[in-house]
Structure 1
Amino acid sequence: MWQKLKTVACDDVLRFSRHMQLTICLAHFHEFQPTAD
């Protein structure tokens, strides 16, 4: 049971960290993007 619980927790952490990385990448992209107007 503990092994299963740990696996789920790891999956959640990986999913969360991937989401954070994507958010940071998008933020940097918008930050350094030259303004269209």
Structure 2
Amino acid sequence: MSPPPRGKRWVCRPWKTLPDGTRIFARQYGKRAFCWLVDDE
């Protein structure tokens, strides 16, 4: 995973909640986790 840009950080979770409330799990897609960038606090 590449280093995050200044002012951001990576967050990784084994699940992701879709807009309709459905929770999908990374293992269903052959992954260990879903990762995305968030603002540093």
Q: Which has the higher contact order (CA 8 A, sep 6+)?
A: 2
Give the structure with the higher percent helix.
1
TM-score in same-fold range (> 0.5): no
Q: TM-score, normalised by structure 2?
A: 0.20
Give the structure with the higher percent strand.
2
Q: TM-score, normalised by structure 1?
A: 0.21
User: Whose Rg is larger?
Assistant: 1
